[in-house]
Amino acid sequence: MEDIKNLFQGADWKAEKHVPVIDAPDTAKKGEFFNVTATVGKEIAHPNKTEHHIAWIELYFHPQGEKFPYQIARAEFLSHGASIQGPDTSSVYTHHEVTLSFKTDKPGVIFASSYCNIHGLWQNNKEVKIA
């Protein structure tokens, strides 16, 4: 039986357009909100067409010493140029980027996952220290 963790792909985001890039501080202040941005296609643009697009990005935070991560965000991107006239006929497109704020008292790892409707699941992570 296939295990879902084996379906997630990863690579260097500077060379692979599907990998979610996590922009967050290396060190955050204990108990203070800080911004996290996740983007797909930061260095190499990812298509945003009806037939090829990023459908969603999810973000999790796994505090050091805890068993499970916390889901901190899920963004769905629902407009990729489709209209009643057909594929890529609309002027409305969403960009595959999400920004949020959260706070924590513990250091840990931010995990981002994304889904391309053609190329599947992708992942990345970033460690955050607490001062």
- Tens digits of per-residue pLDDT, 51-94? 999 999 999 999 999 999 999 999 999 999 999 999 999 999 99
Active site (catalytic) residues = 16-18, 46, 52, 116, 119
Q: Which residue range is the domain that position 91 belongs to?
A: 4-130
Number of compact structural domains in the chain = 1
pTM: 0.92
Rounded to 5 degrees, what are φ and ψ at 55?
-85, -35
Strands 27-28 and 54-63: unpaired
- In angstroms, the CA 83 to CA 29 distance is 45
**Contact 102/71 with Cβ under 8 angstroms?**
no
Written as six digits, the tokens of 61 are: 């935070």
CATH number of the structural domain spanning residue 35: 2.60.40.730
